[in-house]
Amino acid sequence: MSDLFALAMPWWEFILRAVIVYVVVLVMVRVAGKRTLGQFTPFDMLLLVLLGNAVQNALLGPDTSLGGGLLLAATLIALNYIVGWITTRSALMEQVIEGEPVVLARHGHVLQKVLQRELVSKADFAKAMRDAGCDEVDEVDLALLETNGHITIILKKDNR
């Protein structure tokens, strides 16, 4: 029973590994863009599974104990809470971590280069328009790619 909780590394190494992996993966996801977060396709789910598997060894090292796993889980949850706490109290940190919304269309004109840069397909944009009850791009006053990856469509006043 004592082997169940026996750590193969010092406790602080688990926390250090978790902090490093959390920060690096957060930066990688942030650099990957907003569309990585917005909608999960089967390919996105596969990426998440593979990413979790890829960082598992970096987190655990040689340890396979229950105690090590629980310590890592607690550390990752604490890190996530801390990041949330910081972003709700600092506009600068929120901008750095979350990013800012990006204009995809304005006054009935789609910004094609922005769609390409943000990896938003025409089909995804069209779906967002349909979800907003919009048939034609001329009806769009503003379309934003939000920081969570979702597309918000604001219709012109005469089309609401």
Question: Which of 31-35, 80-84, 106-110 is predicted with the least confidence, judged by mean pLDDT?
Answer: 31-35
Residue 22: give the domain boundaries.
2-98
Residue carrying the six token digits 């600068």: 92
Q: Averaged over 105-124, what is the pLDDT?
A: 94
| 112 and 147, same domain (yes or no) | yes
Q: How many Cβ atoms sit within 10 Å of the Cβ of residue 63?
A: 19
Q: Which of 71, 98, 125 is the last residue of a domain?
A: 98
Q: Which of 156, 43, 142 is nearest to 102 (CA)?
A: 142
Q: Do 142 and 106 contact (CB within 8 A), yes or no? A: yes
| 42 and 90, same domain (yes or no) | yes
Q: What proportions of the chain, in percent to the nearest 5, are helix, strand and coil?
A: 65, 10, 25
| 61 and 12, same domain (yes or no) | yes
Instruction: Report the pLDDT value the prediction gives residue 1, as an integer from 0 to 100.
Output: 58
Q: Averaged over 91-100, what is the pLDDT?
A: 90
- pLDDT per position as a tens digit, 30-73: 777 766 555 666 767 777 788 888 888 888 888 888 889 899 99
Q: Averaged over 103-117, what is the pLDDT?
A: 96
| 87 and 13, same domain (yes or no) | yes
Instruction: Report the pLDDT value the prediction gives residue 58, as an integer from 0 to 100.
Output: 87
Q: How many Cβ atoms sit within 10 Å of the Cβ of residue 149?
A: 17
| 71 and 22, same domain (yes or no) | yes
- pLDDT per position as a tens digit, 122-157: 999 999 999 999 999 999 999 999 988 899 999 998
Q: Which of 77, 86, 24, 80 is nearest to 54 (CA)?
A: 24
Structure tokens at 127: 């779906």
| 131 and 92, same domain (yes or no) | no
- The H or E element that residue 141 is part of is strand 140-145
Confidence at 2, pLDDT banded by 50, 70, 90: low
| 92 and 107, same domain (yes or no) | no
Note if the pTM is more than 0.85. Answer: no
Q: Averaged over 100-113, what is the pLDDT?
A: 96
Confidence at 105, pLDDT banded by 50, 70, 90: very high
Q: What is d(CA 43, CA 21) in angstroms, rounded to the nearest whole number?
A: 22
Provide the domain count of the chain. 2
| 36 and 70, same domain (yes or no) | yes
Q: What is the mean pLDDT of the chain?
A: 88
